[in-house]
Amino acid sequence: MSKNTENNHSLLLKQLSALLSNETDLLANAANLAAFLYHNLDQVNWLGFYFQQGDELVLGPFHGQPACTRLKIGQGVCGTAFAKQSTELVEDVHAFAGHVVCDAASESECVVPFYTAHINGVLDVDSPIKNRFTAADKAFFEAVVEIFKQSIHQHV
């Protein structure tokens, strides 16, 4: 089965819920989420978190090549999604003004911001091909972030 079908999205969400369900620690669940999705999605070269610290987003758990450690809120794809409080789906990162290059292999990107009582940040997913992410992928990553938020709900 292709790793990108709707059925697969549904299965991955169930598996992710199970993976995160017995833990509330923020870093533990962020790390397992990144590892799980990176290894279960096609055409993804980087997948991980940035967490807000003041006016910056600071690198969190991820899979992929080493990345930029600090991004300014309001700049780049991540900083724009966070400032606008809405998902950024970028078909071609080279056409996005202010795109911050971390891994030169990245061609398209989907960034979902989140805001909780404990932590704010973004889930960033990069692909080495253009137009990798569809509206269905956007909805999938937004559902992923909801599962993550629920899992750390009791984290203090």
Q: Minimum CB separation from ligand SME for residue 5, in Å?
A: 25
Q: Minimum CB separation from ligand SME for residue 29, in Å?
A: 19
Closest to ligand SME by CB, 13 or 100: 100
Nearest-angstrom CA–CA distance, 12 and 5:
10
Q: What's the token pair of residue 28? A: 């533990």
Closest to ligand SME by CB, 79 or 113: 79
- Closest listed residue to residue 148, CA positions, set 59, 46, 66, 51: 51
Closest to ligand SME by CB, 13 or 35: 35
Q: Minimum CB separation from ligand SME for residue 88, in Å?
A: 9
Closest to ligand SME by CB, 21 or 53: 53
**Residue 55 CB neighbours (<10 A):** 9
Q: Helix/strand/coil (H, E, C) string of 93-138? A: HHHCCCCCCCCCCCCEEEEEEEECCCCEEEEEEEECCCCCCCHHHH
Q: Minimum CB separation from ligand SME for residue 72, in Å?
A: 9
* Site residues (vs ligand SME, CB under 6 A): 46, 67-68, 71, 76-79, 99-100, 102, 106, 109, 124, 126
Number of residues in the chain = 156
